[in-house]
Amino acid sequence: MTTQVVYSEKFSRHNNMSHPENASRLHVMIEEIKKAPFFKDLEFIEPIILDEKELKDVHTDRMIEQIKEMSIIDESWIDMDTYVCRSDYETARLAAGGLVKACDNVLKEKADNAFGLIRPPGHHATKNRSMGFCLFNNAAIAANELSKKGKKTLVYDFDVHHGNGTQDIFYDRKDVMYQSIHLSPHYPGTGHFDEIGIGEGTGYTVNCPLSYGNGNNAVSKVLEEVFLPIAKQFKPDLIIISSGYDSHYMDQLGGLRFTTDFFGEMTAKYQDIQSKIVCTLEGGYNLQQIGKCLVSQLGQLTNKKVKFNDSANEDENIDGVLNQIKNELSPYWKL
């Protein structure tokens, strides 16, 4: 089994050490996986810079030009959360291009699966706006490239924050399914259970807003009763997992109660649907934990599981929102 990891030191050029989304995130993750029993089995690959045409297939010209212009100075801010550094127009295209390359390699069976250890992250970037620490939407760009090849992609997002950007980009399409579990109310304020898509995309957006304190058991129930049955019926050619480790119970920007092992366990559930899986880094800001979360996922991908056996008290109450989700989606899927 071959697991590829997309990585480049150039991703560290996007950096502000006073900001939670900084270059040290990648550094601690690399150091953690070096200690893992599967490290020697990983195949590290260099990313490629995304062509501007592929970028324009997903994002507006104005949005792209904004990042390009802001990348000629040392640092500037799009909003109070999102910074842009010198060379970020190239760095962000390198992140997106790396994920496109990983998906292409898995699709062509050059690898069994892959992980995009890339930044800046992407799932908050909409068609026309960079926001929420994100410049371009890596997962959406990769999924769109797969669509051009006639392939169906499922994006599963377990970041504590709703991936409003990924949802926005595919909200009226049925070639890409977006599934998200996330804390609500929380930034960015989207992802309600009744947001299920529009037009021919109706039923292809699946949201589960979680309450503060929900964790492994609540989410496992949502996956088994709604997300996975829908995924099986959708029959994706490839699954992209937006891996946001801020849903870990110790993350300072979180509020959910996922244990470290649960990241690998969620990945395993989606492997049962489709073995062609490519994960991409989104959030996660506890520098003592994010490397372990990555090890949990990579251990599952390489079939050399690493268990941490940590535990977290959680609120298991999920039935109310679960029934609401079923009511919204049962006209479109067998649940």
| Active-site residue, from 14, 123, 124, 182 | 124
Q: Is the pLDDT of residue 292 over 90?
A: yes
The mean pLDDT of 253-259, rounded to a whole number, is 97
CA distances from 286 to 29, 58, 132, 251, 331 (A): 11, 31, 17, 5, 40
CATH number at residue 309: 3.40.800.20
pLDDT digits (tens, 9 = 90+) for 216-249: 999 999 999 999 999 999 999 999 999 999 999 9
The mean pLDDT of 244-269, rounded to a whole number, is 98
pLDDT digits (tens, 9 = 90+) for 11-35: 999 999 999 999 999 999 999 999 9
pLDDT digits (tens, 9 = 90+) for 92-106: 999 999 999 999 999
Is the separation of the CB atoms in 129 and 63 below 8 Å? yes
Is the separation of the CB atoms in 178 and 205 below 8 Å? yes
Model confidence at 1, pLDDT cuts 50, 70, 90, reads confident
Query: Looking at the 3D structure of the chain, how many domains does it have?
Result: 1
Summary mean pLDDT of the chain: 98
334: in domain: no
335: in domain: no
Is position 14 annotated as part of the catalytic site?
no
Q: Is the pLDDT of residue 110 over 90?
A: yes
The pTM score is: 0.98
Model confidence at 113, pLDDT cuts 50, 70, 90, reads very high
Model confidence at 126, pLDDT cuts 50, 70, 90, reads very high
Range of the structural domain that residue 320 is part of = 3-329
pLDDT digits (tens, 9 = 90+) for 42-69: 999 999 999 999 999 999 999 999 999 9
148: in domain: yes
234: in domain: yes
Residue 142's pLDDT is 99
List all residues 6 or more positions away from 155 whose beta carbon is below 8 Å from its beta carbon. Answer: 139, 140, 143, 163, 166, 170, 176, 177, 178, 179, 239, 240, 241, 242
Pairing of strands 83-85, 75-77: antiparallel
Residue 98's pLDDT is 99
CA distances from 168 to 44, 141, 248 (A): 32, 13, 25
